[in-house]
Amino acid sequence: MYQTFLFIHSWLRWIVLILAFIVIVKSYIGWLGGGVYKKSDNIMSASFVGIILLQLFVGVSLYVFLSPTTDTAFNDFGAAMKDLTLRYWAVEHIFAMIVGTVLAQIGRSKSKKAETYQTKFKLQAIYYTIAILLILSRIPFGEAERLFRQ
C-alpha cells in the first residue's frame, strides 16, 4: 500500500506542475493583456486546484498512515528535529504543501467571486504563483530516485 501511494504521489506532482504552469501563464496573459475569462479558464483553474487537493490527500495519507519515515520521526520527535532528513519530511515538506494548497484554494475562491475578468486573472496569477513557488521550494528535486518512481 505504501509503495502504491508513494508512486501515485510522485507522479501526481508532474500533473500539478504542468497544470500550474498552464494556469499561471494564462492568468498573467489574461491579467496583463486584458483577456476575457472563458469557461476553459475556469475549468483549468478548477482542475489545478482539484489536482493539488488530491495530491495533498495522498500526501497526508502517506504522512499519517503509511510512511515509515514519519513513524520514525514521531517515535522521537526531539531527535527528529536534529536530523535534517527527518525534520524535512516530518515538518518542512508537509507544512509547505499544506500552506501552498490553502493559498491555491484561497486564490480559486477569491477569483471566482471577482467581478471583472482582469481581477479574476490577477488573483489567480498572484495566489497560484505564490502557492507553486512555496510548493516547489519543498519538492525533493535533488533526490533523482524520487523524481520518476516506477
pLDDT (tens, 9 = 90+) of the chain, 150 residues, equals 999 999 999 999 999 999 999 999 999 999 999 999 999 999 999 999 999 999 999 999 999 999 999 999 999 999 999 999 999 999 999 999 999 999 999 999 999 999 999 999 999 999 999 999 999 999 987 765 666 665
Stated as kind and residue range, the H or E segment containing 61 is: helix 39-61
Which pTM value belongs to this model? 0.92
Residue from 15, 41, 4, 8 nearest 26 by CA: 41
Integer Cα distance of 37 and 114 in angstroms: 11
Domain ranges of the chain: 2-147
- In sequence order, the 6+-apart residues with CB closer than 8 A to the CB of 37 are 30, 117, 120, 121
How many Cβ atoms from other residues are within 10 Å of residue 91's Cβ?
A: 14
* 35 touches 121 (CB < 8 A): yes
Instruction: Report pLDDT for 144.
Output: 55
Instruction: Report pLDDT for 141.
Output: 79
Integer Cα distance of 26 and 150 in angstroms: 32
Instruction: Report pLDDT for 148.
Output: 65
